[in-house]
A and B are shown apart, each in its own frame.
Chain A
Amino acid sequence: EVQLVESGGVVVQPGGSLRLSCAASGFTFDDYTMHWVRQAPGKGLEWVSLISWDGGTTYYADSVKGRFTISRDNSKNSLYLQMNSLRTEDTALYYCAKAGYSSSWLFDYWGQGTLVTVSS
């Protein structure tokens, strides 16, 4: 059974930093692209970033480019999101999502999310 468990979400002040983690199990982690997707309270879904199976390719939404860094450690079956220069508009539930078998750009399994609140 595929499991994705996010952690690291807390309350942080504007301008602060945070690192989210996602522990994966139930599938061959280093076979798949992985994603972060976020959802602001009461709002829709926003894709944040993706990383290829080997970490060699990354993409970011314009809203986080230059502030967030996605990475992975295949030896630990783990995905990370380093978040710097946080803004109030980064407040959201952050989901880790596994790419699909048929396409690396869809999300076939999601974690339950970790809440990041940016507030003074």
Chain B
Amino acid sequence: DIQMTQSPSSLSASVGDRVTITCRPSQSISSNLNWYQQKPGKAPKLLIYAASSLQSGGPSRFSGSGSGTDFTLTISSLQPEDFATYYCQQSYSTPLTFGGGTKVEIK
């Protein structure tokens, strides 16, 4: 199974800050990496697919990059509605696996 390691597990940031979250799979997954946002009490929402493609309707302040074993989700200017937990997920092989999540909190 491919293990997905996300870091940090949590962070505190202010509105307007640039935020970076990292995801490292235990083996190369090419560009088969997706990012989800989950707000408390809500279902996850797809943000980025195929490492760098913004899901339709997603804000342009979100971007993804990377390939192989090193991926990054960047929020260019954090907005109040971005405080949530973010998960990476590999779509390279089954079993499909998620990272442990990164909780973005208000500083």
| Residue B14 interfacial (CB < 8 Å) | no
Query: A120 — which chain B residues lie within 8 A by C-beta?
Result: none
Contact size range, A: 20 to 34
Query: Chain A residues near B22 (CB, 8 Å)?
Result: none
**B contact face: mostly helix, strand, loop, or mixed:** loop
Kindly report which residue of chain B lies nearest to residue A100, judged by CB atoms.
Answer: B49
Q: Closest chain A residue to B35 by CB distance?
A: A106
Interface bracket on B:
20 to 34
Cβ-neighbour of A47 out of B45, B50, B98, B99 (below 8 A): B98
Task: Judge whether B63 is part of the interface by a CB distance below 8 angstroms.
Answer: no
Q: Are B43 and A61 in contact (CB under 8 A)?
A: no
The answer to whether the Cβ of B44 comes within 8 Å of any Cβ in the partner chain is yes
Q: CA–CA, A103 to B55, complex, Å?
A: 13
A 87-120 binary contact with B (CB < 8 Å = 1; else 0): 0000000010000101101111111110000000
| Interface residue? A45 (CB, 8 A) | yes
Q: Given A45-B38, A103-B91, 5 more contacts at CB 8 Å?
A: A46-B98, A59-B95, A61-B95, A107-B89, A111-B43
Chain A residues at the B interface, C-beta cutoff of 8 Å: 35, 44-47, 50, 59-62, 95, 100, 102-103, 105-113
